Amino acid sequence: MSKNKYEKIDEKISKQTQTNQPGKEADMNPEPIYDDENYIGSDKLLGKNALITGGDSGIGRAVAIAFAKEGANIVIAYLSEKEDEDANKTLDLIEKYGVKAYKIRTDIKYENNAVQLVHETIEKLGSINILINNAGKQFPQTDLLDISTEQLEETFETNFYGLFQVTKAALKHMENGDVIVNTSSITAYKGSPGLMDYAATKGAITSFTRSLALNLSDKGVRVNAVAPGPIWTPLIPATFDGEKVAEHGDDTPLTRRGQPAENAPAYVFLASNDSSYLTGQTIHVNGGDFVSS
């Protein structure tokens, strides 16, 4: 049986590491598949305005491209100057589909930055119809005693506090029909002995998604989540040693890691009217590694 493009690229991924979080896509070998040429947009998000945190690379980049194919204008937010190269490439990729695209570099773990991010997005796009909370960090530790207070705070401040503050600021500008999609993780459901604090933040995101969905149901703002499994993003070589990177995803039923482009359609579905009767739910994109009940 012939192998598909995702299986072929998975075989090319070997031992590699990066020294800084959240990592650079430009330094990955091979580069992730972020634009599926077989995915043809059909104006599902035409005229909508989207803010995507962690939008410079990985899943965020793939989502931005898919949204652009569907007609959405986009602001991508990302952490640091080290990711400028990735962010600039993502803008180029978005703009070729004829939509407006902007980048904002900021650290959303600080409330003032989150508020300013939303303010600048409104200035650039005029509104926020779709909020994608995707920014995240992870720091592996096999022993709970090795998770310092500083690491715990850094993980929660980026993964959950930042998400909370951006959402809080954006909601002041969101109306009936607008949507929020949060990036959870398989670790929120399956657990992770080596990513305990990270998994805890993703559990918080999952519970927040459900609670906020109920809270906003009467306002017509839908809130859902995507829970990726092992996906080939910059966070992987920036987190794990070379051996772990090479084996990433091998233990899934599909026996490979996923690519960012394989996640993007789930975000499109949740951001569009195709999911108009869906709120408080999570889509699991994980190669069968966890089957939701």
The label of the residue with tokens 């990302």 reads: 78
Global pTM reads 0.96
| Burial environment of residue 276 by CB neighbours within 10 A (0 to 12, 13 to 18, 19 or more) | exposed
Contact between 74 and 52 (Cβ < 8 Å)? yes
| Rounded CA separation 33/17 (Å) | 19
- Confidence class of residue 293 from pLDDT cuts 50, 70 and 90? low
Q: Are 222 and 278 in contact (CB under 8 A)?
A: yes
Q: Which CATH architecture has domain 45-285?
A: 3-Layer(aba) Sandwich (3.40)
Q: Which residue matches tokens 């975000």?
A: 267
Q: From CA 214, how far away is CA 161, in angstroms rounded?
A: 20
pLDDT at 214 over 80: yes
Three-state SS string over 256-273 comes to CCECHHHHHHHHHHHHCH
pLDDT score, position 22: 82
Q: Identify the pLDDT of residue 20.
A: 85
Q: Which of 78, 198, 267, 277 is catalytic?
A: 198
Residue 286 pLDDT: 96
Interval 47-75 mean pLDDT:
98
- 60-75 CB burial, b ≥16 within 10 A, e <16: bbbbbbbbbbbbbbbb
Q: Which of 165, 157, 121, 132 has its CA nearest to residue 53?
A: 132
Q: Which amino acid is at 228?
A: P
Sheet holding 130-133, edge to edge: 101-105, 73-78, 49-53, 130-133, 179-183, 222-228, 282-285
H helices of 55-195, in order, are: 58-69, 84-95, 111-125, 149-156, 162-171, 187-190
Q: Write out pLDDT tens, residues 159-213.
A: 999 999 999 999 999 999 999 999 999 999 999 999 999 999 999 999 999 999 9
Answer yes or no: 198 catalytic. Answer: yes
Please answer whether residues 79 and 72 qualify as being in contact, where contact means their C-beta atoms are separated by less than 8 angstroms: no
| Per-domain residue ranges of the chain | 45-285
pLDDT digit string, tens, across residues 251-270: 999 999 999 999 999 999 99
pLDDT at 64: 98
Residue with tokens 């043809």: 40
The average confidence (pLDDT) of the chain is 96
Give bridge partners of residue 52 from the DSSP assignment.
Answer: 76, 132
Phi (first) and psi of residue 240, to 5 degrees: -105, 165
CA 41, 34, 284, 177 dihedral sign is negative
Q: Answer yes or no: is pLDDT of 292 > 90.
A: no
Summarize pLDDT for 76-114 with one digit per residue, the tens. 999 999 999 999 999 999 999 999 999 999 999 999 999
Closest CA to 232 of 19, 107, 40, 61: 61
Tell me what pLDDT residue 1 has.
64
Neighbours of 275 (CB within 10 A): 18
Q: How confident is the model at residue 228 (pLDDT cuts 50, 70, 90)?
A: very high
- For residue range 9-50, what is the model confidence (pLDDT) as tens digits? 999 999 999 988 888 999 999 999 999 999 999 999 999 999
pLDDT of residue 3: 86
